[in-house]
Structure 1
C-alpha cells in the first residue's frame, strides 16, 4: 500500500489567508463609512458637480471700478453645523464657535471693508446620518450643493459689478470641499469666472478637505500621506443614500494649483483616509481614530501646528499677507 502524498502546506494556507484578507477589506469599508458619517462634522457644539457654463472668452477689463467695490473679496465657507441658510454673511451668528470665525473675524478686524470684504457663505451646512431614522437634517448632497451655488453666485455677481476685485477663498471640512470645488472649476475653465480672470483668484485655503490628494496643491507641513474620505470611498458611490463620494477633482486645481494651500492633520479621516486597497492599514488607522477628535481640534496645536501656529492662526496669517500684497485698483 503506497503512502499518501501530502499536500504542500503553503497551498493549504493560501485560501485561509485570502479569506482573512477579504474579511479585513470588508471591515475596513464598514469602518470608513461609519466614521465618514461621524467625522464629516466639526465636533461638539458649537458635492455637487461644479456648475456654470464653460467660459473661455476673454473680456476687456476697465481701468477703474466703482468706489463701493472692495479690492479683495474674502469668501469664507464654514464647515458642517457652522452655518445656516439665513445667516448674515457679514455678521454670521449661526454658530459662534465656528472654526472659520477665528480667521474671518481676525481679517475683518485687521482690514477696512474697502480693502477686503469678508463674506461668510450662509448655507444649510448639515450632514444627515442615513443610519439614524430619526435624523431630520438635510442630506450632505443637498447641503453641499446649496453651499456651492451660493458661493459661486457671490463670485459671479461680484465679478460682474466689480471686475477688478480679487478673491481669497477659504473653507473648513464641508466648506473646504466646496471651496476646493470652486477652485477646481475656476482653475480648469469650467465656469464661475471667465478663464481670462483666473488671475483674480489670489489664493485658496483649505482646512480638512474631504477631496484632498497629497501633492496636488501646496500641502502645509505636517502633511499626511492619506487621501480625502471622498477619494478613499469613490468606489462606493450610491451605496449610502444622500452621500455621494465624488472622488478626486477632475483636473485637480488646474491653473490655480500653486495658489491652493491645504492643511490636514495626520489622523483626521476626513482628509487623511486610507484607501481600501490597503485593508490592514485601514483597519489599524481607523481603529486608532475612533476616540481621537482630530477633526474638531484645528483651533488648537494638539494635532496640527506649523512653527507653533494652529491651523486657524496659519490660515489667518497667510490670508492677511495675500490681502496686504494684493493690487489696489483705481476707483471711480
Structure 2
C-alpha cells in the first residue's frame, strides 16, 4: 500500500484487516527530519484480542505532538478456542509479527535517524514484545533508537511479583502455545501491569490458588484495561500498578513448588490432566456469575473441563 510522506494531517483508520495505517501530527514549522518525510519518532502500535485495528491507541494518537507519527499494525487478533474465533493464537501472533517486522524495517531503512517505539496491548503485547526481543538480538536498528511499551503482556518476565500467564501455565491446546517469559537485552522496554490482571500478573495456582483466582476475576472485572499512552513512556523496567484484591488472598505457600509451566510444559497429556484439576479448584473460588464465562479464558479451556 502506498504511504504518503511529509507533513500530513492524521487520516481515518481503515478498518480492513491486513492494512497498515499511518497518521502524523501536523507542525507549523517542520524540522529537517519532517521536511524530508520522516517523523522524529514513529510509534508502532499493536492492539489486543479482537482489536486488530489497534483502536485502543486512538485517544493517545489524537494528542501526539508535532514530529511524532504512528503506524497501526492490522492483524486478525484472534485466540481460538475463544467463542467465535477461528484463528489460533499462534497463527494470529505470527501474522502480526510478520507485518510488524516488515513495517519497522522498512521505516528504519527510509528514516535511519528516527526514533522507534514499539508498543502492544495484551495479545498485541505478545507481538510487540516478540519483535523487541528479536531486535535486541541483532543490530539492524541501533538499540539506542528503540524503546518498547507493553501493556498487560502475557509474557511479562517476573520482577515485582509473578510474571505473565505464558510463563505460569503450560500449553494445553495445540495452537495456543505458552512460550514462557522473554527478555529484551539492553533495549529499554517498559512493562506496565495491573496487580489484579491475571494475564500479566499470574500467581502460581499450585502455591496460591486464591491469588490465581484473583487474576482471573480481575481479568473479567476490568483490571486488564490500561491508560494507553506510549509516547509518554521513555524508560524501561517493570511497573506493577498496585490494586486492592478482587479475591482476598495471602502470599504463596512457603513450599518449593515450580509453576505448572515449569513442571508440565511440553507434556501435553499430563498438562491437560493437571490443568483440569486446577480448573476445577478454580471454579470453586470464582463468583457464581463468572463460572459460566471461563470459556472466555481460553488458557484454561482444557478438554473435559466443566463450566465451559
What TM-score results when the alignment is normalised by the length of structure 2? 0.59
Question: Paired residue for 1:205?
Answer: 149
Give me the whole-angstrom Cα distance separating, in 1, the residues matched to 2:43 and 2:179.
26
2:204 equivalent to 1:268: no
1:232 touches 1:275 (CA, 8 Å); kept in 2? yes
Whole-angstrom distance in 2 between the partners of 1:171 and 1:103: 13
Question: Which of these residues, 158, 162, 176, is aligned with residue 214 of structure 1?
Answer: 158
CA shift, 1:289, in A, is 4.0
Does 2:78 correspond to 1:126?
A: yes
CA-to-aligned-CA distance 1:255-291 (integer Å, 9 cap, x gap): 20xx111110012111011235xx130x212333444
SS of equivalent residue, structure 2 residue 204: coil
Name which of 239, 250, 253 aligns with 2:184.
253
Higher helix share: 1
Contact 1:75–1:167 (Cα < 8 Å) also in 2: yes
The alignment status of 1:103 with 2:60, answered yes or no, reads yes
Residue in structure 2 matched with residue 67 of structure 1 by the alignment: 36
8 Å Cα contact 1:100/1:171 also seen in 2: no
- Number of corresponding residues: 205
Q: Distance in 2 between matches of 1:268 and 1:295?
A: 9
Alignment of 1:278-297 (within 5 A): 279-281=206-208, 283-293=209-219, 296-297=222-223
Paired with 1:248 and 1:65, the residues of 2 have a C-alpha distance of 38
Question: What residue is the counterpart of 2:173 in the other structure?
Answer: 240
Q: With CA pairs under 8 Å and 6+ residues apart, which has the higher RCO, 1 or 2?
A: 1
Note closer, same or farther for the CA distance 1:214–1:289 as it changes in structure 2 (3 Å cut).
closer
Contact 1:207 1:262 in 2 (8 A): yes
Corresponding residue number in structure 2 for 1:229: 165
The alpha carbon displacement at 1:316 in A equals: 4.6
- Relative distance call for 1:269 and 1:142 in structure 2 (3 A) is same
1:154 to 90, 100, 103: 103
CA 1:180/1:290 → structure 2, altered by over 3 Å: closer, same or farther? closer
Q: Deviations over 1:120-151 (max 9, x none)?
A: 11111111117x6xx44211111101111111
Look up the SS of the partner of 2:63 in the other structure.
Answer: helix
Shift of residue 177 of structure 1?
A: 1.3
Alpha-carbon distance between aligned partners in 2 of 1:65 and 1:317, rounded to the nearest angstrom: 20
Query: What is the correspondence of 1:31-46 to structure 2 with a 5 Å cutoff?
Result: none
RMSD: 2.8
What residue is the counterpart of 2:28 in the other structure?
none
Runs of 5+ consecutive residues of structure 2 not aligned to the other structure? 1-31, 237-308
Alpha-carbon displacement from aligned partner over 1:206-231 (angstroms, at most 9, x marks no partner)? 1101111133xxxxxxxx50211111
Q: 1:101 to 1:205 in 2, by over 3 A?
A: same
- The alignment status of 1:194 with 2:140, answered yes or no, reads yes
Structure 1, unmatched stretches of 5+, are: 1-62, 85-91, 93-97, 216-223, 300-309, 323-332
Instruction: Report the 3-state secondary structure (helix = DSSP H, G, I; strand = E; otherwise coil) of the residue aligned with 2:109.
Output: helix
Check conservation: 2:150, 2:191, Cα contact below 8 A: yes
Listed one character per residue, the Cα deviations across residues 50-80 of structure 1 (whole Å, up to 9, x for unaligned) are: xxxxxxxxxxxxx989811222111111111
CA 208–64 in structure 1, closer or farther in 2 if over 3 Å, else same: closer
Query: Residue 117 of structure 2 aligns to a residue in which SS?
Result: strand
Is residue 179 from structure 1 mapped to residue 158 from structure 2 by the alignment? Answer: no
Partner Cα separation in structure 2 for residue 184 and residue 295 of structure 1:
31
The change in CA–CA distance for 1:139 and 1:289 in structure 2 (over 3 A counts) is same
User: Measured at CA, do residues 184 and 295 of structure 1 come closer, stay the same or move farther in structure 2, by a change above 3 Å?
Assistant: farther
